[in-house]
């Protein structure tokens, strides 16, 4: 699972992705209020557990402070592609449509699949700083 600042930034700026989040047990999210509170400056990554779900039900969960970090399987579901060979085909087709500079930005499968989803469903590409 990618917990890098790069992936967090991609997810945070993908407003269309965040709107899809139906908070579910075992989802990962970055608590934006904790990002600046850690000593080493690393992001505050959390996992949705029973306590979080209770907070959600009681409306005590501060969704505006949370950035959903979809796992690889969740991104595949968004793309409606779960068969391994279909994933390979989709990614091969997708990576053939982008330049080398774009390919070099991806350092994880989550970044690659999020970029594929963004282009396929929302006609957006990651510039390294934002979705255009």
What pLDDT does 38 receive? 53
Average pLDDT, the chain: 91
**For the residues 54-66, what does the mean pLDDT come to?**
92
Dihedral of CA 77/116/33/64: which sign? negative
What pLDDT does 110 receive? 98
- Categorize the per-residue pLDDT at 35 as very low, low, confident or very high, splitting at 50, 70 and 90: low
For residue 44, give both structure tokens.
Answer: 């505050």
**For the residues 106-123, what does the mean pLDDT come to?**
95
**For the residues 80-90, what does the mean pLDDT come to?**
94
Statement: residue 36 has pLDDT above 80: no
What pLDDT does 100 receive? 87
Give the residue among 124, 11, 125 at the shortest CA–CA distance from 71.
Answer: 11
- Categorize the per-residue pLDDT at 102 as very low, low, confident or very high, splitting at 50, 70 and 90: confident
**For the residues 26-41, what does the mean pLDDT come to?**
73
Distance CA 10, CA 23 (A): 19
What pLDDT does 97 receive? 85
Where do the H-state alpha helices sit in the chain?
5-13, 15-18, 32-35, 50-57, 72-78, 84-95, 100-105, 109-122
């Amino acid at each position: 699972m990618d917990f890098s600042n790069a992936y967090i930034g991609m997810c945070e700026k993908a407003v269309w992705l965040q709107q899809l989040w139906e908070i579910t047990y075992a989802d990962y999210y970055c608590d934006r209020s904790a990002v600046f509170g850690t000593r080493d400056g690393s992001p505050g990554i959390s996992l949705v557990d029973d306590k979080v779900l209770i907070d959600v039900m009681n409306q005590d969960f501060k969704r505006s402070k949370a950035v959903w970090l979809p796992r690889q399987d969740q991104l595949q579901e968004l793309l409606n592609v779960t068969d391994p060979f279909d994933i390979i085909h989709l990614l091969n087709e997708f990576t053939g449509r982008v330049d080398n500079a774009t390919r070099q930005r991806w350092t994880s499968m989550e970044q690659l699949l999020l970029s594929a989803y963004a282009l396929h469903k929302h006609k957006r590409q990651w510039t390294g700083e934002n979705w255009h």
